[in-house]
Amino acid sequence: MKEIKVIDLKPGMEDVDLVVEIDYIPQNSWSIVFVKDETKDIKMIFSEEEIKKAKEGIKIKIKKGNVTLSRGQLQLNPHPDHPIEFLDSKE
């Protein structure tokens, strides 16, 4: 099976598994994070617990995520039963 990349994501996709890097966390954001791979970036919504762990440059793994269109912008959403896996930390 072909490894999926951010550039391949389309609205309505489900069960998306991929590894991305946290690229940008907007100031005063309580849940919005931008993640990227080598092809593109995409907006994600993190839970309150996940946002506490989020740091720019950390790689994360998404399992069974889905892709939506929010205000004309693609958004990657983690599956509620599969929390974001933080693969490394920049402590």
88 pLDDT higher than 80: no
Q: Which of 64, 56, 63, 54 lies closest to 86 in space, CA to CA?
A: 54
* Tens digit of each residue's pLDDT (9 = 90 or more) over 37-53: 999 999 999 988 898 89
Length of the chain: 91
pTM of the entire predicted model: 0.88
91 pLDDT higher than 70: no
Positive or negative torsion for Cα 27, 29, 35, 39:
negative
* Mean of the per-residue pLDDT values of the chain: 91
User: How many whole angstroms from its chain centre is CA 63?
Assistant: 10
Residue 2 pLDDT level (bands cut at 50, 70, 90): low
